[in-house]
Structure 1
Amino acid sequence: MGVYVSVRGWLECDEKQLAAAQHIISSHADDHYSRGWSTPQRQVNWTCYLFYGADIRASALDWFSHQMAQIARIPASDDDGDRVRGLFLASHEVEGTTEWQIRDGRLVWSPADARHRYLDG
């Protein structure tokens, strides 16, 4: 059957960065796990949000993290210098939960805080 990881979280960006992120996502489309991506029907105000939620095989984590690393490297699109940022929790059936931060142009992995253990169920 395989080992699964529940991946859920969001990205925050501006409109230009959202378009770049969607291009990266479409370049990795697999017609299965890529269906976990969604955006609001209409963005509200100036921050764009991009969400992901799916239970994926542990063997697909490289597929997902490669996208995240590429998205993290999207440059700031205006003078304020804001980069894409986000937060994801990945609950692995065997190894527990990790926190993935997208910040400062990088994807940073760390063990999730104990307060998120209720999501491991």
Structure 2
Amino acid sequence: MGLYVSIRGWLECDATQLVSVQEIISSPAEDHYSNGWSTPRQHVNWTHYIFYGADIRESALDWFMNQIRQIARIPAPDDDGDLIRGLFLASHEVDGTAEWQVREGQLFIAAADARHQYLDG
């Protein structure tokens, strides 16, 4: 059956970056797990949020992490220099939970804080 990783989290961006994010996540490379992405029914105020929630096979983890890295590299749309940022928790069936921070144009991965252990259940 294979191992699974439960991934849940979000990205924050502006309207220009959102267009680029949507192009990346709509790529036909992995139609099944791309269905975990969602956005609010209606945009509220200035920050756009993109959410992800799905249990994916461990074998698809590299694909998903590469997608996140590609999104993180989307340039700032103006002189403010605001890059996409976000936070994900990835709970592996064997390895436990990791925290993925999207910031500074990169994906940073570290062990999740002990307070998130309740999500490993």
Q: Secondary structure at the match of 1:8?
A: strand
User: Which residue number corresponds to residue 51 of structure 1?
Assistant: 51
Bigger mean CA offset, 83-92 vs 28-37 = 28-37
Q: Unpaired segments of 5 or more residues in structure 1? A: none
User: Which residue number corresponds to residue 107 of structure 2?
Assistant: 107
User: Which residue number corresponds to residue 4 of structure 2?
Assistant: 4
Q: Normalising by structure 2, report the TM-score.
A: 0.97
Runs of 4+ in 1 over 2 A off after TM superposition: 28-31
C-alpha distance in structure 2 between counterparts of 1:24 and 1:17, whole Å: 11
Q: Unpaired segments of 5 or more residues in structure 2? A: none
User: Which residue number corresponds to residue 24 of structure 1?
Assistant: 24
For 1:61-112, what per-residue CA distance to the aligned partner results, in whole angstroms no more than 9, with x for missing partners?
Answer: 0010000000000011012111000000000000000000000000000100
**Count of matched residue positions in the alignment of Structure 1 and Structure 2:** 121
Identity %: 72
Match runs of 1:34-49 below 5 Å: 34-49=34-49
For 1:18-71, what per-residue CA distance to the aligned partner results, in whole angstroms no more than 9, with x for missing partners?
Answer: 110111111255221110000011110000000000000011100100000000
- Contact 1:89-1:98 within 8 A present in 2 as well: yes
- Contact 1:28-1:67 within 8 A present in 2 as well: no
Letter aligned with residue 24 of structure 1: I
User: Which residue number corresponds to residue 91 of structure 2?
Assistant: 91
C-alpha distance in structure 1 between counterparts of 2:103 and 2:120, whole Å: 24
Q: Normalising by structure 1, report the TM-score.
A: 0.97
